[in-house]
Amino acid sequence: MNSSATDLERVAKRVQELLAASGNPPIAATVPKPKFSPAQIAQLIDHSGLRPNLTRADLEQLCREARQHKFYSVCINPTWVSLARELLAGSNVKICCVVGFPFGAQPSETKAMETRAAIRQGAKEIDMVINIGELKGGNDELVLRDIRAVVEACQDGSAKSKVILETSFLTNEEKARACELSVKAHADFVKTSTGFSSGGATVEDVSLMSRIVRDKGLGVKAAGNVRSLADLLKMVAAGATRVGTSNSVKIMKEAAGEIVSGDGAGY
């Protein structure tokens, strides 16, 4: 079997696992030309609107797109959570709010307070940025306390917690340590990037993170540099269970026909 067919089968198997975990019916048996519906792809996506100059009109558009395509969530800054809750009322689209964003340098108490406020306003998932400098400095106790403060606030509010590592700043050893601390803190996901640093998700980082956390029951969110359907499928094949992107609508347009072509384009 050629490498393209192998890639396609790996993607097909991974998407089937994700759908089964979320209670969706499995796709037909894996074949060299797997077809996934746009609806199945949409449920892997956190539709992101995190840029600092986002306006109310932009948020309204983001929420309209999320409703139309039935994305898993919208991922937004704290100031927009209440409005997004109004705009998404009656839909199944969840609200994901970032905390300690984008640098992670706030005190743990501030992150926990920000988390609780976002959950009260309607957030069902929290993407928090770790204290990157303290991780690099070897202060694992502080980083663990930082993550745990947000995780506990999420647990109190029945929300999911995701831990943003900002992998472009980290060595592989530091990425692994951050994943292990996230496991120890009982987070729900680890996430690659904010999308506002020097680099975003890579297949190598997603694979590394998945190897460490998947057997512990944590998901992996790939964010940053996911600009196409081919990018999304690569991340899923590497172990991503969720994808954050502002290119969601473009990806859905690509997914409107046969999602994966037989020639393995994009790999």
Q: Would you name the residues annotated as active-site residues? A: 127, 191, 221
Q: How far is Cα 260 from Cα 229, in angstroms, rounded to an integer?
A: 9
The DSSP result for 143-191, as a single string, is: HHHHHHHHHHHHHHTT-EEEEE--GGG--HHHHHHHHHHHHHTT-SEEE
What would the two tokens of residue 160 be?
């999911």
How far is 102 from 98, CA to CA, in rounded Å? 8
Alpha-carbon gap, residue 102 to 149, rounded angstroms: 18
Q: What 3-state class would DSSP assign to 45?
A: strand
